[in-house]
């Protein structure tokens, strides 16, 4: 099994699409006005947005995008007008993260974890019976 895509809600795709293109995602499917799908710049994952009439209540969706050059990307995005809630910071789970929200309030985390993404020191040993 492999993860194909994550779909998040949006009230207005005409505003959301340019936002995600600014982040560096490539628009590959457009079914206006209800659906858009993007290819991530690296790997085979895709990401989509679906028009809704009302956003879900509560904290909403958290989406993590891994970036090799996190600090440089954040600087570049800030120059393009993207606002961050948290500048890149080293976390105690051994990831470096920057946080922002899209136009619908979905929480986006741009991060770099390297080897620790799938193999942190506290990883469960799958060979244990």
What domains can be seen in the chain, in order of their start residue?
5-116 (3.10.180.10)
- pLDDT tens digit sequence for 57-96: 888 889 999 999 999 999 999 999 999 999 999 999 999 9
Q: Is the whole model's pTM more than 0.95, yes or no?
A: no
CA 26 to chain centre: 13
What mean pLDDT do residues 120-129 have? 77
- pLDDT tens digit sequence for 23-46: 999 999 999 999 999 999 998 899
- Locate all alpha helices (DSSP H) within 2-123, ordered by sequence: 13-23, 70-79
Which has the higher per-residue pLDDT, 128 or 68?
68
Q: Which pair of tokens denotes residue 91?
A: 């976390």
């Amino acid at each position: 099994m492999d993860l194909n895509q994550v779909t998040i809600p949006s009230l207005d795709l005409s505003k959301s699409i340019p936002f995600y293109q600014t982040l560096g995602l490539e628009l590959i499917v457009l079914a206006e006005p209800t659906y858009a799908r993007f290819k991530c710049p690296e790997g085979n994952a895709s990401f989509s947005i679906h028009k809704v009439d009302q956003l879900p209540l509560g904290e909403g969706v958290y989406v993590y995008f891994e970036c090799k050059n996190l600090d440089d990307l954040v600087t570049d995005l800030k120059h393009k007008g993207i606002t961050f809630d948290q500048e890149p910071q080293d976390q105690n789970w051994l990831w470096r993260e920057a946080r922002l929200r899209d136009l619908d309030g979905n929480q986006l985390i741009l991060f770099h974890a390297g080897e620790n993404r799938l193999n942190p020191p506290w990883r469960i040993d799958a060979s244990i019976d």
